[in-house]
């Protein structure tokens, strides 16, 4: 059975923990509990293929940025999560993406941008169109989810697995490394 390592990144308070917990345990935690690192395993069937998802829920707090590099190195696919009700979490998404590219030394990875808390319609600070525009800039898929109401949570994880499969099964089967001779865009160190 294939194992897929998925890393969830987002600012503290975005509640990616609830998204991960909802996906892996089918239970929603309504309160914010700061996470340093939580790892979940769940056996699922995606496109008629049984597999195991190993989901690493990481901390958004700045004091854990050193640990984040190791989590990124180990990950195969990534969910970048922001809250639709917090513009500041949206504005920091690109830093997480840049850190992934820097640590993995690649210019493309299986990645999905996730606007969480889509159930908070009246508190929305980031429009769906802005999320779509950001996803185009980041060259990744986009979805809005609600851990509370289970909207698109499973779908976001399954989409990343499908991207990982495409990468593994691709014609070259190796990562698209940036040129070591200085070619490619340099990402800032966070």
Q: Give the pairing of strands 49-58 and 37-46.
A: antiparallel
Q: β-pairing, 77-83 with 111-116? A: parallel
Residues contacting 23, CB < 8 A, separation 6+:
40, 42, 55, 153, 154, 157
What is the rounded distance in angstroms from the CA atom of residue 186 to the CA atom of residue 104?
Answer: 12
Give the pLDDT confidence score for residue 100 in this predicted structure: 94
The stretches of the chain forming alpha helices (DSSP H) are 16-25, 65-74, 87-91, 93-104, 128-138, 153-169
As a CATH number, domain 2-168 is 3.40.50.300
Q: Where are the domains of the chain?
A: 2-168
Q: Are 22 and 147 in contact, with CB atoms under 8 Å apart? A: yes
pLDDT per residue of the chain (190 residues) written in tens, 0 to 9: 899 999 999 887 665 444 454 444 444 444 444 444 466 889 999 999 999 999 987 755 555 566 778 889 989 999 999 999 999 999 999 999 999 999 999 989 999 999 999 999 899 999 999 999 999 999 999 999 988 888 899 999 999 999 999 988 765 444 444 443 344 333 232 2
pLDDT confidence of residue 3: 94
């Amino acid at each position: 059975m294939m194992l897929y390592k998925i890393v969830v990144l987002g600012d503290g308070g975005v509640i990616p923990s609830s998204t991960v917990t909802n996906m892996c345990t089918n239970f929603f935690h309504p309160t914010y509990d700061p996470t340093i690192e939580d790892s979940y395993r769940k056996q699922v069937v995606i496109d008629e293929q049984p597999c195991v998802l190993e989901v690493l829920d990481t901390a958004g707090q700045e004091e854990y940025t050193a640990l984040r590099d190791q989590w990124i190195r180990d990950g195969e696919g990534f969910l970048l999560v922001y809250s639709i009700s917090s513009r500041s979490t949206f504005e920091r998404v690109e830093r997480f993406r840049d850190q992934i590219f820097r640590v993995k030394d690649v210019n493309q990875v299986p990645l999905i941008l996730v606007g969480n808390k889509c159930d908070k319609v009246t508190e929305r600070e980031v429009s769906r169109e802005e999320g779509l525009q950001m996803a185009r800039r980041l060259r990744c898929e986009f979805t809005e989810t609600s851990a509370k109401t289970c909207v698109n949570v499973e779908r976001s994880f399954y989409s990343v697995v499908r991207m990982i499969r495409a990468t593994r099964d691709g014609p070259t089967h190796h990562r698209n490394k940036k040129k070591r001779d200085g070619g490619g865009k340099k990402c800032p160190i966070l």
